[in-house]
Amino acid sequence: MTLFLDEKCVAGLLGMDDALDAVEEVFAEAGRGNVTNVPRVRAPLGEGTLRITAAVLNTMGYYGVKVSSTTIFESSAGRVFSLYAAETGALVAMVQVFAMGALRTGAASAVATKYMARAGAHRLAVIGTGRQARTQAEAICKIRPITEIRAFSRSNENRERFCRDLAPLAADVRGVESAEEAVHEADIVVTATTATEPVLLGKWLAPGTHVNAIGANFEHRRELDLDVVALAAVIVTDDLEQVKYEATDLAAPVARGIIGWDQVIALGDVVAGNRPGRTSDTDITLFKSLGVALEDVALAARAYEKAVEKGLGVRLPDLSG
């Protein structure tokens, strides 16, 4: 039996708590060597880009493939994840994953923050106020006692809407007039932009700050200046191969000899306890998020199992041939 789970169904099945549990579990398994993540493949598609990702979750019994394109950034149309049972190869679910993408990316940053930010971190700065920024803040507020959120974006209207939406998350949620003002004395910083030039400068960071950089996963995009990377005592990413061709934030300092790729750690190794997420309270730490397929498989599997349990989703005709 193959289930089709549309956006509405997925939203009813998965919340941020589900995402946090699933993402932490799958990265722990990755650190134990039980997950294979296939780095994202990109191909020209008209004026856009076709994107294909895949992962195998051996101990969880699933593998999956996601196909999407840059022509549908603001639509769920065409963003479909295919989930398979590893033992039989059966297609068990087709899942629309537009909203799920922001959910799992937020959860990945929160998991990184759990292991890399100081325990008492409570001031959050967010640069960028779009859909991804919202789930970043929501997820981080679930794993650290956030009392203050400062947000900056170029649009006053978007900034004000963002602060209204996030008001229930912290006692003090406010927009500010510059990225530097947002970052001043922050414990945790999130960059969630489509910038092509750095929006976060190392000279703004206080000792002990943790940075989640999530927006720049195309080679022409960049959110961090060289000093952010140079100052980072611990640098972590979600896939050690994919980062080399998707993250100019790290490729640029590698090219200049500021860091080497051997200094970049897999998030799975941190979650599994193989490597530390920080070594002191004064460390500046950096998580470079790409958004990888193992997160999609974990959440799609969680949605599928809950749908089966609750009798939800649309049963598709027999596809076994």
- Other Cβ atoms within 10 Å of 171 Cβ, number: 10
Cα Rg of the chain, angstroms: 19
Give exposure, 36-69, as e/b (b: 16+ Cβ within 10 Å). Answer: ebbbbeeeeeeeeeebebbbbbeebebbbbbebb
Phi-psi group of 61: left, alpha or beta (phi > 0 → left; psi -120 to 50 → alpha; rest → beta) = left
Q: Is 259 exposed, middle or buried (0-12, 13-18, 19+ CB in 10 A)?
A: middle
Q: What CA–CA distance (Å, rounded) separates 90 from 81?
A: 14
Options 66, 114, 288, 306, the catalytic residue? 66
Dihedral class, residue 208 (left if φ above 0, else alpha if ψ from -120 to 50, else beta): left
Per-residue tokens: 15: 């919340």
Q: What percent helix, strand, coil does the chain show, rounded to 5?
A: 40, 25, 35
Closest to 148 in 3D by CA, of 118, 180, 184 = 184
Task: Write down the number of H helices and E strands in the chain.
Answer: 11, 15
CA distance 106 to 108: 5
> Does the annotation mark 203 as catalytic?
no
Task: Report the catalytic residues.
Answer: 66
